[in-house]
Amino acid sequence: MPCDLILALDVPTRADAAPILRSLRGSLRWVKIGLQMFTACGPDCVREVAGHGFQVFLDLKLHDIPHTVAKAVESLAPLPIGMLTLHTSGGREMMAAARAAQQQTKPDLLLLGVTVLTSMDAAALAEIGVPTAPDAQVARLARLATEAGLRGLVCSPLEVSLLRTQLPADMQLITPGIRPAGEVGDRCASPGVTDDQKRTLTPTEAARVGANYIVVGRPILKARDPAAAARMILEELGSREKLKG
């Protein structure tokens, strides 16, 4: 199963993003814009990244009552985005409302259900009243998302193997919590550091267990040469020739 790389563009300003995008143009297909950039720059940053030739994954993790989330999906539909996230913990009705709005306004948009954040472990789940292990909670939320009509999920790479045994084969699995090792890791400013990620794998390991996409941010952004670090990950995934096609 092919696996592609998504750069998490978690930088403070559009000025910080511009040189990174210029250096990666032609090598990388996908860029993720999260809360940091979107709240700082708004929809213009989405248009700007798309204007550089990248496909945009908008990671806003929508979570509200069903009507509000559906209207948010409708509001975002005119933007040049290919993926959009919402929290599966919002429930079946919320996810189904988002899916209906997406189908009516932007049929090609891939709605992704976020299961359990990769910054959370069993202790963190217990603190918010979830007594089950992360993998069990991920599986429960993943089944709920599937029943609500979602075709993609965001999960830790540690849960990919489990989900592949329980979900339809065409379910798209996107995995943050990726930390390169070896030469790629050595090129990072802080090799081996997992930051606040608690459930991680390397790019090769994530691809091997069945991830469709891996999301990498700080190991590329903090590297001495971000473009070289990204290219090494792409080579590790065997994606370079595919991207040329």
Residues involved in catalysis: 61
Chain centre to alpha carbon of residue 57: 7
**Do 230 and 8 form a contact (C-beta atoms < 8 A)?**
no
- Whole-angstrom distance, CA of residue 159 vs CA of residue 105: 31
**Do 184 and 204 form a contact (C-beta atoms < 8 A)?**
no
Q: Supply angle C-alpha 117, 123, 127, rounded to 5.
A: 85
CB neighbour list of residue 1: distance below 8 Å, 6 or more residues apart: 207, 210, 212
| φ, ψ at 52 (rounded to 5°) | -80, -5
Nearest to 1, CA basis, from 183, 216, 164: 164
What Å distances lie between residue 17 and 45, 130, 157, 206, 226, CA to CA? 9, 37, 27, 26, 12
What Å distances lie between residue 200 and 92, 95, 134, CA to CA? 28, 27, 13
CB neighbour list of residue 245: distance below 8 Å, 6 or more residues apart: none
